[in-house]
Structure 1
Amino acid sequence: MEIALIIILLLAVLLSHNKLNGKIRKLENEIIELNKKLLHQNQELPEKKQEQPPLHSPLTPIQNISSGSPLEQKADVNLSQKDWLSPIFDFLKQNILTVIGIFTLVLGIGYFVKYAIDKNWIGETARAVIGLCTGAGIIITGHFLRKNYNTFSSIITGGGIAVLYFSMTIAFREYHIFAQSTAFIIICLITLFSIILSYHYNSQVLIVCSLFGGFLAPLMVSTGQSNYVFLLTYVTILNIGMLIIVFLKNWKSISWIALIFTNIYLFYWVLEKTDLTSIYFYIITYIIFYAFALHDYQKKNILAVIDILMLVLINFTSVIGLVYIFNELKYEPAIIFPLIFALVNAVLLYREHEKKDAGIPYSVFTGITVSLITLAFALQFKTNLITSVWAVEATLLLFIWKKTGFNIFKICFYVLFPLVILVQMITWAEYLTLKQLSVVFNPIFLTSLVTIFTIFINLYLLRKQKEIDTSGTLFFENLFIILSYGIIYLAVLFEILYHISDLQFPVIISTGLLFSIYYLFILLLLCKPLNITRAFETGFIYLFLFLVIIHTFLSSSMITDGILKKEISGSYYFFYLLYLIPFIAIVWKLISSTHFFINSIAYWYVSLAIVMVVSSELFHGYIVMNAENREQSYPLKEHFSILYLPIIWAILASTFIYTGLKRNIPELNKIGFVLVGIMIIKLYAYDVWQMDNVSRIIAFIILGIILLLSSFLFQRLKNMIKKLVDHKNESNINKNSESQ
Structure 2
Amino acid sequence: MNNQQDQIKLLEQKLEELLSKQESFAKNLMAAYKEIEDLKKGQFIKVTPLETPETPVVDKVIDAPKIDEKEFTVEKVTPEIKTGANEKEKSPEPILEASAPVVTESYVKTEVPLQTSNNKNTNQLPPKKSSLEKFIGENLINKVGILITIIGVIIGVKYSIENNLISPLTRIILGYLFSFGLLAAGLKLKVKYLNFSAVLVSGAITMMYFITFMGYDFYGLFPQLVAFGVMTLLTVFTVVAAINYDKQIIAHLGLVGAYSIPFLLSNNSGNVTALFSYMTIINIGILIISFKKYWKSLYYVSFGFTWLIYLGWIVKDYYYVEDFRFAFTFLSIFFILFYCMFLAYKTLKNEKFQATDVILLFLNSFFFYGIGYYLLDSHATFGKELLGLFTLGNAMIHFIPTVIVYKKKLVDKKLFYLIAALVLTFITITIPVQLDGSWVTILWAIEAATLYWFATTKKITVYKNLSYILIVIAFISLLEDWSHLYDLNPSKERISPIFNSNFLSSLLVIIAFGFITWLNKAEKFQDLEAPKKAMDKIMGFLIPIGLLIICYLAFSLEIDNYWEQQFLDSFINYTNEAGNLGSTRNYNLIDFKSIWLINYSLLFFSILAVANIKLIKNSTLAIVNFVINNILTFTFLIGGLLIISTLRENYIAQYLGEHYSIGSYYLYIRYISLAVLAFLVYTIYWYTKQDYLNLKIKNVFQIFLHLIILWILSSELLHWMDLAGSSGSYKMNLSILWGAYSLFMVVIGIWKRKKHIRVSGIALFGATLVKLFFYDIADLDTISKTIVFVSLGLLLLLISFLYNKYTKQIENDPKDL
Aligned to 2:290: 246
CA-to-partner distance for each residue in 1:194-216, whole Å, 9 max, x for gaps?
54543342224554666577678
Asked whether 1:381 is paired with 2:435, we answer: yes
Q: Which residue number in structure 2 is paired with residue 545 of structure 1?
A: 629
Give the direction of change, closer, same or farther, for the CA distance of 1:455–1:295 in structure 2 (3 Å limit).
Answer: farther
Q: Where do residues 490-639 of structure 1 align in structure 2 (5 Å cutoff)?
A: 493=553, 496=557, 524=609, 534-549=618-633, 551-552=635-636, 555-556=639-640, 559=643, 584-585=678-679, 587-589=681-683, 591=685, 594-595=689-690, 598-601=693-696, 603=698, 610=705, 614=709
Deviation track 1:473-513 (CA, whole Å, cap 9, x = no partner) reads 66543432333344456668599499779999999988887
* Contact 1:392–1:454 (CA under 8 A) maintained in structure 2: yes
2:243 to 169, 190, 199: 199
Q: In 2, distance between residues paired with 1:325 and 1:676?
A: 79
Larger RCO (CA within 8 A; separation ≥ 6)? 1
Amino acid at match of 2:384: Y
Give me the whole-angstrom Cα distance separating, in 2, the residues matched to 1:442 and 1:488.
Answer: 20
The one-letter code sitting in structure 2 at the alignment partner of 1:686 is: K
Name the count of aligned residue pairs: 609
Counting aligned pairs with the same residue, the percent is 17
Cα shift at 1:418: 11
Cα 1:285–1:210, aligned 2, differ >3 Å: closer, same or farther? same
Q: What is the 5 A alignment of 1:301-320?
A: 304-305=353-354, 318-319=368-369
1:588 shift after superposition: 3.9
| Alignment partner, residue 119 of structure 2 | none
- Is it true that 1:335 corresponds to 2:388 in the alignment? yes
* Distance change in 2, residues 1:221/1:356 (3 Å): closer
Q: Write out aligned runs for 1:33-52 (5 A).
A: none
Structure 1 residues 216-274: Cα deviation after superposition (integer angstroms, max 9, x where no partner)? 88899999999988776665554443323212434466456655666666777778878
Shift of 1:460: 5.2
Partner Cα distance (1:50, 1:212) in 2: 67
Answering whether residue 765 of structure 2 is matched by residue 680 of structure 1, we say yes
Confirm whether residue 291 of structure 1 aligns to residue 291 of structure 2. no
| Deviation per residue, 1:297-353 (Å, 9 max, x gap) | 754777645566666665566555555665666723533234334445555666677
Residue of structure 1 in register with 2:81 after alignment = none
> What are the within-5 Å matches in structure 2 for residues 181-192 of structure 1?
none
The one-letter code matched in structure 1 to 2:539 is F
Superposition deviation, residue 377 in structure 1: 3.6
Q: Which amino acid aligns with 1:600?
A: L
SS of equivalent to 1:249: coil
Distance 2:593 2:374 in 1: 37
Per the alignment, do residues 592 and 552 of structure 1 end up closer, same or farther by CA in structure 2, a change over 3 Å counting?
A: closer
Cα distance in 1, alignment partners of residues 636 and 201 from structure 2 = 77
- Structure 1 residues 556, 582: closer, same or farther in 2, change over 3 A? closer
Structure 1 pair 301–581 and aligned structure 2 pair: CA distance change class (3 A): farther
Instruction: Give the secondary-structure state (helix, strand or coil) at the position aligned to 1:600.
Output: coil
| Map of 1:463 onto structure 2 | 521
Q: Is the 8 A contact 1:521 1:544 kept in 2?
A: no
Residue 548 of structure 1 contacts residue 609 of structure 1 at CA under 8 Å; is this kept in 2?
no
In the alignment, the residues of structure 2 paired with residue 671 and residue 219 of structure 1 have an alpha-carbon distance, to the nearest angstrom, of: 91
| 8 Å contact from structure 1 (residues 161, 194) kept in 2 | yes
Q: Distance in 2 between matches of 1:156 and 1:392?
A: 60
- The correspondence for 1:695, drawn from 753, 766, 788, is 788
How many Å separate the matches in 2 of 1:308 and 1:560? 61
AA of the residue aligned to 1:481: G
Verify the 8 A CA contact 1:383 1:447 in the aligned structure 2.
Answer: no
What is the one-letter code of the residue matched to 2:242? S
- 1:698 positional shift: 3.6
Q: Which amino acid aligns with 1:382?
A: D
Alignment deviations for residues 149-201 of structure 1 (CA, whole Å, 9 cap, x no partner): 7679879988999999999999x99x9x99xx99x969988866654543342
Cα distance change, pair 237–441 in 1 and its aligned pair in 2 (3 A): farther
From the superposition, tell whether residues 304 and 685 of structure 1 become closer, same or farther in structure 2 (CA, over 3 Å): same
For residue 295 of structure 1, report the CA deviation from its aligned partner.
3.1
| Contact preservation (8 Å) 2:444, 2:474 | no
Higher CA-based Rg: 2
CA contact (8 A) 1:455 1:484 kept: yes
| CA RMSD in angstroms, aligned pairs only | 7.4
Which residue type is aligned with residue 463 of structure 1? K
The structure-2 alpha-carbon separation of the partners of 1:284 and 1:720, relative to structure 1 and needing over 3 Å to count, comes to same
Structure 1 SS opposite 2:291: helix
Q: TM-score, normalised by structure 2?
A: 0.50
Q: Quote the residue 1:68 is aligned against.
A: none
d(CA) in 1 for partners of 2:138 and 2:520? Answer: 43
- Give distance in 1, aligned partners of 2:134 and 2:666: 75
Name the SS of the counterpart of 1:332 in structure 2. helix
CA contact (8 A) 1:143 1:153 kept: yes
CA distance in 1, matches of 2:799, 2:435: 64
SS at match of 2:289: helix
Say if 1:200 and 1:417 are closer, same or farther in 2 by CA, change over 3 A.
same
Pick from 534, 540, 545 the counterpart of residue 481 of structure 1. Answer: 540
Q: 1:454 to 1:160 in 2, by over 3 A?
A: farther
Amino acid of the structure 2 residue aligned with 1:247? F
User: Does the 8 A contact of 1:517 with 1:547 survive in 2?
Assistant: no
> How has the CA–CA distance of structure 1 residues 549 and 365 changed in structure 2, closer, same or farther, with 3 Å as cutoff?
same
TM-superposition CA deviations, 1:98-124 (whole Å, max 9, x none): 999799979x99xx99xx9xxx99989
Q: Is the 8 A contact 2:431 2:443 kept in 1?
A: no
Instruction: Assess if the C-alpha contact under 8 Å between 1:335 and 1:376 holds in 2.
Output: yes
Q: What amino acid is aligned across from residue 482 of structure 1 in structure 2? A: F
Relative distance call for 1:400 and 1:641 in structure 2 (3 A) is same
Q: CA deviation at 1:534?
A: 1.9
Report SS of the residue matched to 2:387: coil
Shift of 1:541: 1.8
Alignment deviations for residues 335-391 of structure 1 (CA, whole Å, 9 cap, x no partner): 323433444555566667768999556655665555544543444333699999999
Retained in 2: the 8 A contact 1:246–1:292? yes
Q: Take 1:477 and 1:707, find their aligned partners in 2: how far apart are those partners?
A: 63
Name the CA distance, whole Å, in 2 between partners of 1:657 and 1:202: 96
Question: Residue deviations 1:456-485, cap 9 Å, x none?
Answer: 665455435894245776654343233334
